[in-house]
Structure 1
Amino acid sequence: MYTLNIDTQAFIKQHWQQKPLIIKQAFVDFEDPIAADELAGLACEEEISSRVVVTKGDDWDVVQGPFEDYDQFGEDNWQLLVQAVNHWYPASQPLVEAFRFLPDWRFDDLMVSFATPGGGVGPHIDNYDVFIIQGEGERRWKVGDKGQHKRRGGNENSPLVDDFEPIIDVVLQKGDVLYIPPGYPHCGETVTLAMSYSIGFRAPSQQELLTELADSLIDNNLGNKRFTSTDEPEAPGIISQTHQQGIMDLLVQLAQDPQAYQTMLGKLLSQNRFELDVCEDEEPLSNEDLIDAIEQGAIIQRIGGLKVLCLEQDSQSRLFINGDEYPLAQASEAVLQLFANNVSIMPEQARELVEQPALLELLTQLVNQGLYYLAEDEY
């Protein structure tokens, strides 16, 4: 297991989404959860998102995976990055667990990189929070202050920016962590062969929220209210300030109506950006098969990266799992929270759950969908 050596509540108050922080020896006696050759093997798979970034002076070439070999890149000045390793490599899940003092809906993925000396991705700005954990080797990181940073080459769509004046300049060693909030430019350069781990947290943009809300309203035939008024401007070609605000207030009303937004939010925030390693069996389990497995001590385990969420003060009793809604009309708040907060459902917990027919059906369904599986040990 991995224990984060910080006061998490003090971190949230003083640094979270506010300013960068270096945490020396955040993990004491840190051990890499995955070896470099295992990471390289994952990057050979078609369904896993990977890329190699090659440093060429003041420029960077990006080569998208999958990769059959790495000889073409030489011995220095390149970096392999593999996304969502927690989806495909169960031994990495305990490292993710160390950061669950932040809510699951924000969690994006665990990206793992192997870098040769001189390897990096260039100075850039992310629109999400990231914790960079140093494994084997050393990497030098520079972080600049927030501000107006010119995009490299004048390309406003590029995450790369021109060089910046650092407010942090540090060489990370094994077990060190660097936290960077959104909007801060940063750049990493590899000193020696190195493994690094990036835990990313992301929130939806206004564009994403409006798109999802519109789709949800259309699908459920909601949001049909139209603007009405009792006063009209004297000039026919003018849209008065009162009318402008009144029309936009229709959106405000939707944002204040849980019936309009809760289903949309639950589905949106439980989705993953990256493919999951869904593990469906050829022969589906029956309810009786699942009960027998639980009696024999089976743990009901989530697949890596699966989000299981419930909404506080929800208008309905339900779970949101991987972008879908699972109604549970008779389930208590305690049961919903058990599903949402526990990556593993232990046998003693499962025995109580399956006494309720609806929960037995749900567990069987989730296992047969490949979203949960039967395990003997956690992870």
Structure 2
Amino acid sequence: MYHLNFAPKTFIEQYWQKKPLLIKNAFENFEDIITPDELAGLACEDSVSSRVVITKENDWQIIEGPFEDYDQFGDKNWQLLVQALNHWHPDSAGFINAFRFLPDWRFDDLMVSFATPGGGVGAHIDNYDVFIIQGEGERHWTVGDKGLYAPKNNDPTTPLIEGFEPIIDVVLEKGDLLYIPPGFPHQGQTLTTAMSYSMGFRAPSQQELFSEIADNLIDNATGLKRFTSQSEPTQASQVSTQHQQHMMALIAEFAACPNSYQAVLGKMLSQNRFELDLCEPEEEYSAEELDDYICQGALLYRIGGLKLLQLEGDCTSRVFINGEAFEYPEDIEENITQLTQRLSFDNQQAALLFQCSATKELILTLLNRGYFYFGE
């Protein structure tokens, strides 16, 4: 199991989304989650998002996967990046669980890097929170303060920047952790062949929220209330300040009603950016088969990366899963909470859930969707 060597409450109060933090030996006796050979094998798969970044003098080349051969890249100045390892590698579940002091809706993915000496990405700025955990090997990291930085080669579309003055300058070793909030420039360079793990946490932008709400209004033919006024400007060509404010008040009025936004938020925040590794059965399970599996001692698992979310104060009893709402009777609220909190259930825990017919029916649906699966 993976246990963080710091107090989450203190971290959230003093550092979360405020300033970078270096924690040496954040994971005592840290063991890599995956071997380089296993990672290279995953990057051969079409369904896995991967890329190789080649470091060149004052430039970088990105090659998108899948990959069949790595000999072409040589033995230095490149790194392999695999996104959403947690979707494809069940052994990463314990590592993910160590960061669940932050809400599941924020968690984006676990990216893994295998890097040769000299491999890395130039100075850049991300718009999300990231925890970088060092596995085998060593990487040199620098982090700068927030500020205005010139984009690399005057390209406004790139996250790369020309450079920065470091406020953190450190060589990460096995088990070390570096936290970087959005907006802080950083750069990593590999010193010895290394494995690194990046835990990314994202939040929606205004643009994304407005887009989701607008799509929902169109799809459901809602939000049809029109602007009305009690007075008009004296100039026909003028849009008065009062009219402008009252039009914007229509949006505020809509946004103030939970019925207007809760379903939108639940569906939006429970979706993943990366493909899920669904475990759909060859033939759909029946309720009787579920009982047989439990009698045989089966365990129940949630697939990697799947988000089960509930909205506090929701106007409907429902759980949001992969962009879809599943309603349930109020009397199984405790069981639903267990489903959302746990990533796996031992045989006894699963058997207790199945004793309730409504819970069993929902789990049957999730099993047939490939969202859950039985294991030994």
Pick the TM interval, shorter chain. over 0.9
Matched ranges for 1:95-106 at <5 A = 95-106=95-106
**What is the CA–CA distance in structure 1 between the aligned matches of 2:70 and 2:331, rounded to whole Å?**
52
Q: Does 1:253 align with 2:256?
A: no
**What is the CA–CA distance in structure 1 between the aligned matches of 2:108 and 2:350, rounded to whole Å?**
28
| 1:348 Cα deviation from its structure 2 partner | 2.9
Q: Partner residue of 2:165? A: 165
**What is the CA–CA distance in structure 2 between the aligned matches of 1:246 and 1:346, rounded to whole Å?**
56
Q: Does 1:210 align with 2:202?
A: no
Q: Residue 129 of structure 1 contacts residue 179 of structure 1 at CA under 8 Å; is this kept in 2?
A: yes
Q: Residue 266 of structure 1 contacts residue 309 of structure 1 at CA under 8 Å; is this kept in 2?
A: yes
Query: Could you say what secondary structure the match of 1:123 adopts?
Result: strand
**What is the CA–CA distance in structure 1 between the aligned matches of 2:354 and 2:185, rounded to whole Å?**
50
Q: Does 1:68 align with 2:75?
A: no
Query: Could you say what secondary structure the match of 1:297 adopts?
Result: coil
**What is the CA–CA distance in structure 1 between the aligned matches of 2:188 and 2:213, rounded to whole Å?**
38
Structure 2 residues not aligned, in runs of 5+: none
Q: Does 1:224 align with 2:235?
A: no
**What is the CA–CA distance in structure 2 between the aligned matches of 1:108 and 1:52, rounded to whole Å?**
20
Q: Residue 316 of structure 1 contacts residue 329 of structure 1 at CA under 8 Å; is this kept in 2?
A: no
Aligned pair count reads: 376
Q: Residue 279 of structure 2 contacts residue 371 of structure 2 at CA under 8 Å; is this kept in 1?
A: yes
Q: Residue 129 of structure 1 contacts residue 180 of structure 1 at CA under 8 Å; is this kept in 2?
A: yes
Query: Could you say what secondary structure the match of 1:291 adopts?
Result: helix
| 1:157 Cα deviation from its structure 2 partner | 1.1
Q: Residue 335 of structure 2 contacts residue 359 of structure 2 at CA under 8 Å; is this kept in 1?
A: no
Deviation readout 1:321-367 (Å, 9 max, x if unpaired): 01111111344432221111111133333333323322211111111
**What is the CA–CA distance in structure 2 between the aligned matches of 1:58 and 1:373, rounded to whole Å?**
48
Q: Partner residue of 2:145? A: 145
Query: Could you say what secondary structure the match of 1:122 adopts?
Result: strand
Q: Residue 123 of structure 2 contacts residue 160 of structure 2 at CA under 8 Å; is this kept in 1?
A: yes
Q: Residue 310 of structure 1 contacts residue 336 of structure 1 at CA under 8 Å; is this kept in 2?
A: no
| 1:201 Cα deviation from its structure 2 partner | 0.2
**What is the CA–CA distance in structure 2 between the aligned matches of 1:90 and 1:300, rounded to whole Å?**
13
Q: Partner residue of 1:279? A: 279
**What is the CA–CA distance in structure 1 between the aligned matches of 2:341 and 2:8, rounded to whole Å?**
18
**What is the CA–CA distance in structure 2 between the aligned matches of 1:375 and 1:6, rounded to whole Å?**
33
**What is the CA–CA distance in structure 1 between the aligned matches of 2:250 and 2:355, rounded to whole Å?**
46
Q: Does 1:264 align with 2:264?
A: yes
Matched ranges for 1:181-200 at <5 A = 181-200=181-200
Q: Partner residue of 2:4? A: 4
Query: Could you say what secondary structure the match of 2:291 adopts?
Result: helix
Q: Does 1:317 align with 2:317?
A: yes
With normalisation by structure 2, the TM-score equals 0.98
- Whichever residue aligns with residue 10 of structure 2, its letter is A
When the two chains are superposed, the root-mean-square deviation of aligned CA atoms in Å is 1.1
| 1:242 Cα deviation from its structure 2 partner | 1.1
Query: Could you say what secondary structure the match of 2:141 adopts?
Result: strand
Structure 1 residues not aligned, in runs of 5+: none
Deviation readout 1:280-318 (Å, 9 max, x if unpaired): 121221001012212332221100010011111100001
Q: Please say which of residues 61-70 and 354-363 is displaced more in the overlay.
A: 354-363
**What is the CA–CA distance in structure 2 between the aligned matches of 1:352 and 1:229, rounded to whole Å?**
59
Q: Residue 336 of structure 2 contacts residue 359 of structure 2 at CA under 8 Å; is this kept in 1?
A: no
Q: Please say which of residues 279-288 and 351-360 is displaced more in the overlay.
A: 351-360
**What is the CA–CA distance in structure 1 between the aligned matches of 2:349 and 2:251, rounded to whole Å?**
43
Q: Partner residue of 1:235? A: 235
Q: Return structure 1 stretches of 4+ with deviation > 6 angstroms.
A: none
- Relative to structure 1, the CA distance from residue 337 to residue 222 in structure 2 (aligned partners, 3 Å threshold; closer, same or farther) is same
Q: Residue 112 of structure 2 contacts residue 195 of structure 2 at CA under 8 Å; is this kept in 1?
A: yes
Q: Partner residue of 1:348? A: 348
